A and B are shown apart, each in its own frame.
Chain A
Amino acid sequence: NAGVTQTPKFQVLKTGQSMTLQCAQDMNHNSMYWYRQDPGMGLRLIYYSASEGTTDKGEVPNGYNVSRLNKREFSLRLESAAPSQTSVYFCASKGQGYGYTFGSGTRLTVV
């Protein structure tokens, strides 16, 4: 099925560890996004990539880095995880049509 695929679905990290969240879309969309969602809150934009080869900061970029590997893939890296980064992370993409398409999320816990 066409859509946005995120891996892993769940992850537990120790404080200070690093990891990369993977995201891939097969809809030929130009724009891709990383959001985080904390309990009882809306989504907050971390980073986005308006097109292949470009990335830019969103509302809450501190502690994260991103790579737009190609048109399909947009990864999010935590270099030194902190408990404050415990959250659910959503990747999304958007083409010229209506709305964003979201992945099913990665639930990250930092202990």
Chain B
Amino acid sequence: LAKTTQPISMDSYEGQEVNITCSHNNIATNDYITWYQQFPSQGPRFIIQGYKTKVTNEVASLFIPADRKSSTLSLPRVSLSDTAVYYCLVGLLQGPMEYGNKLVFGAGTILRVKS
């Protein structure tokens, strides 16, 4: 079961690009990397998922180096509404979840965006 390590918190200002790095040294060959966002009093929300290299959607980009032992979530030009907790998860995402492959949420990274 791949464990992830993220910074506990980060501060940024509106309009800046924010990069949150996640370490997952024990990632398995079949594991995907997924990032979630959670606002206070809400459930987590899926942001982006990737396996290798770079993935981009309308919200964020995900950079994964060749060894896949880390990944970086990049949020372009953040706004106050991006203040949230961001979770990096590693696990098998296709098909039913088996016990050994369940996703585990760590404590996440608290991102505070200031004006």
9 contacts between A and B (CB under 8 A): A4-B43, A42-B87, A42-B105, A48-B102, A56-B99, A96-B94, A102-B42, A102-B45, A103-B43
CA distance A41 to B97 in the complex (A): 23
A57 and B102 alpha carbons, distance in the complex (Å)? 11
Q: Is the CB of B44 within 8 A of A45?
A: no
Determine whether the beta carbon of A99 is less than 8 Å from that of B36.
yes
Decide: B42 and A105 in contact? CB cutoff 8 A.
yes
Interface residues on A, range: 20 to 34
Question: In the complex, are the beta carbons of B43 and A45 less than 8 A apart?
Answer: no
Interface residues of B in 101-115 (CB under 8 A from A): 102-108
Q: Which B residue's beta carbon lies closest to that of A40? A: B107
A45 vs B107: C-alpha distance in the bound complex, in angstroms? 13
Total cross-chain contacts (CB, 8 A) = 60
Q: Is chain B's binding surface mostly helix, strand, loop or mixed?
A: loop
Complex contacts, B97 vs chain A, CB 8 Å: 31, 33, 48, 50, 94
Q: Is B98 close to A, CB under 8 A?
A: yes
B60 CB → nearest A CB, Å: 13
Question: B6 — nearest CB in chain A belongs to which residue?
Answer: A42
Residues of B within 8 A of A (CB): 34, 36, 41-46, 49, 87, 93-99, 102-108
Contact A98 B87 (CB under 8 A): no
In contact, B44 and A102 (Cβ under 8 angstroms):
yes
Most buried by B among A41, A43, A94: A43
- Knowing A30-B96, A42-B105, A96-B95, the reply to whether A102 touches B49 (Cβ < 8 A) is no
| Cβ-defined contact, A35 with B102, below 8 A | no
**B44 in contact with A43 (CB, 8 Å):** yes
Q: Are A104 and B42 in contact (CB under 8 A)?
A: yes
